[in-house]
Amino acid sequence: MKRMILAVLSLGALLVPVQASATGSAAAPAAGCEAVTKPSVPGAKVLSTSAAPKPGGTVEYPPEWGVPPITNVPPFCEVKVELTHPGAGDQVLVRLWLPLTGWNGRFQATGGGGYSMHQGDGPLALAIKEGYAAAQTDGGVGFDMEDPSKWALDSKGRVNRELLKNFAYRSLHDLAVAGKAVTKTYYGKAPAYSYWNGCSTGGRQGMMNAQRYPNDYDGISAAAPAISMPSFVVADLWPQVVQNVEGVHPTGCVLDEFQRAATAHCDPADGLVDGIVREPGECRFDPSTLVGRQIECKGKTVTITKAEADVVRKIWAGPKSSSGAQLWPGYDPSTSLAFTAGTPFKLAVNWVKYFVKKDPAFDFSTVGYREFEQIFYQSKREYDRILGTDDPNLTAFRNSGGKVVTWHGTEDSVIHYGGTLDYRHQVVRRMGGATKVDKFYRVFLAPGAEHCGPAAGAAPFDQLKPVVDWVEKGKAPETIAAFTYTGASRDLCRYPLKSHYNGTGDPRQATSYTCR
């Protein structure tokens, strides 16, 4: 999970400078922090509102994240709104950072990761550096991205439906209502435009806003969205089930060798050998070709076995039902298995423990193929309606004038990009074809990029800018500028177009590629 959030946060540290004000000139507060009053939040009771000026400066991330600090954060007014939902027994915190000077007239709500509805101070700091009034909510579920044990079950061992409802959707609307109301009080006028910005859980939250609260935001950036969470989070445990049942656990070195070999085999298909498989779904590589290969691993020479190749083949194939039906897309051979096939993915294990089995002591290592299938279907049956976030009817959002942009890395080993494409296809079928859908909802695949960030392939360093330009300038994005950590540039193409090397020019520069 740390690898997931690091990608999100480190990308944010490279956002572009402050944009021009949405209202034509930078705005100043109408009054000081002390003038902020309680907002009205229908369906909730506001318990308290507090505000205090903050000096800005440098914002540090938790040391274990390994993300550089954000510097030159401007002074701001921090507002905290505590609320509860009658009968729910919850206590929710909505937090805003409001720049003391240079407000650009916009409101930006920031999303979460894993089981947390926010990602700490970092996204707020980045947003106010760009002049936004910025906000987040904890939904009453705390700030642990991997472990929901403090809120998932009530005192009787039942799933806490009220907090799950907050996590799924209710607190998202509270955030929009309270955040925009406080912004209006502080600056003396409502935001000219309101935006959502998130990846992973934040991407799912963005799509939930579009589906359930179509009037809350003018534009939504929903990257690598964790839609169909009851399905993919169980499917993430498929590699563990295969290894446990077959009694074979390849080392990380061996798993990496299978990925490297598959990438080397499929990379040349696009006419450019650059470590990126641009059509990972079409990559065909036989893992048995590595049987007998010797590799160096931590100072030792190891030989790849047939049993290891068979396990990798089953993992790549993905989970299937007892009747042979594909439950979820398999792993593309060029995608790293080190994360989900190594140490069990803690977020996924905890989902099964707390939400499916309702038993914190449940031992997932005992699960076989048949029980895995039962767990998969139970998860969908019990939670799709509340957390699936895959309603293809975006009519109300379209009619509100809203715009949504999604990008997704093709080497995402946590949330398979196939889920995003499946949802896009459902929307197209439901709403009259791709041409009509492209007028308000566009998807961009990032070949070779991982979960919420670059790898060999490039990812956007400012995923909100294309949305802002679409909403405010009517400029629908055909491409999105993307970069690798080493500085190579590449434009992501509007789906279903794909990036092709022109045959000449520097392959590290976006100008050497064409979408077609």
Q: Model confidence over 334-383: pLDDT tens digits?
A: 999 988 998 899 999 999 999 999 999 999 999 999 999 999 999 999 99
Residue among 486, 417, 471 nearest 14 (CA): 486
Provide the residue ranges of all domains of the chain, joining segments of one domain with +: 2-51+76-227+386-479, 232-385
Whether 479 shows a pLDDT value over 90: the answer reads yes
Candidate list 10, 116, 171, 200, residue with the active-site label? 200
- SS percent in the chain: helix, strand, coil, step 5: 35, 20, 45
Q: If DSSP codes are grouped into helix, strand and coil, which group holds residue 289?
A: helix
The alpha-helical segments, DSSP class H, found in 130-228 are 161-165, 171-187, 201-212
Residue among 446, 452, 516 nearest 488 (CA): 446
What's the rounded Cα separation, in Å, for the pair 210 and 233?
Answer: 22
Q: How confident is the model at residue 23 (pLDDT cuts 50, 70, 90)?
A: low
Q: What's the pLDDT score for residue 6?
A: 42
Q: Which residue has the tokens 């996924």?
A: 348
Q: Model confidence over 115-140: pLDDT tens digits?
A: 999 999 999 999 999 999 999 999 99
Residue 94, token pair as written in the block: 């909505």
Candidate list 173, 408, 416, 451, residue with the active-site label? 451
Q: Is 451 a catalytic residue?
A: yes
Q: How confident is the model at residue 38 (pLDDT cuts 50, 70, 90)?
A: very high
Q: What is the phi/psi pair of residue 107, to 5°?
A: -115, 135
Across the range 300-325, mean pLDDT stands at 97
Q: What's the pLDDT score for residue 53?
A: 96
Q: What's the pLDDT score for residue 28?
A: 73
Q: Report yes or no: 244 and 367 within 8 Å, Cβ to Cβ.
A: yes
What's the rounded Cα separation, in Å, for the pair 501 and 512?
Answer: 6
**CA-based diameter of the chain, in Å?**
73
Q: What's the pLDDT score for residue 462?
A: 95
DSSP per-residue string spanning 334-380: TS--HHHHSS--HHHHHIIIIIIS--TT--GGG--HHHHHHHHHHHH
Q: If DSSP codes are grouped into helix, strand and coil, which group holds residue 103?
A: strand
Q: Enumerate residues 6+ apart whose C-beta is below 8 A from 145.
A: 1, 5, 112, 113, 114, 115, 116, 347
Q: How many CB atoms lie within 10 A of CB 140?
A: 24
Q: Is 408 a catalytic residue?
A: no
Buried b (16+ CB within 10 A) or exposed e, 92-118: bbbbbbbbbebbbbbbbbbbbbbbbbb
Q: How many CB atoms lie within 10 A of CB 30?
A: 12
What's the rounded Cα separation, in Å, for the pair 91 and 455?
Answer: 39
H helix and E strand count, the chain: 16, 17
- Amino acid code (one letter) for 331: Y
Q: Report yes or no: 459 and 481 within 8 Å, Cβ to Cβ.
A: no
Q: Report yes or no: 100 and 183 within 8 Å, Cβ to Cβ.
A: no
Q: What's the pLDDT score for residue 35?
A: 83
Across the range 33-49, mean pLDDT stands at 95
What superfamily in CATH does domain 2-51+76-227+386-479 come from?
A: Alpha/Beta hydrolase fold, catalytic domain (3.40.50.1820)
Candidate list 412, 462, 491, 512, residue with the active-site label? 412
Q: What's the pLDDT score for residue 63?
A: 86
Q: What's the pLDDT score for residue 22?
A: 60
Q: What's the pLDDT score for residue 17?
A: 36
Instruction: Give the C-alpha distances (Å, rounded to integers) separating 219 from 260, 321, 472.
Output: 39, 39, 9
Whether 19 shows a pLDDT value over 70: the answer reads no
Q: Model confidence over 416-452: pLDDT tens digits?
A: 999 999 999 999 999 999 999 999 999 999 999 999 9
> How many CA within 13 A on the CB side of residue 411?
26
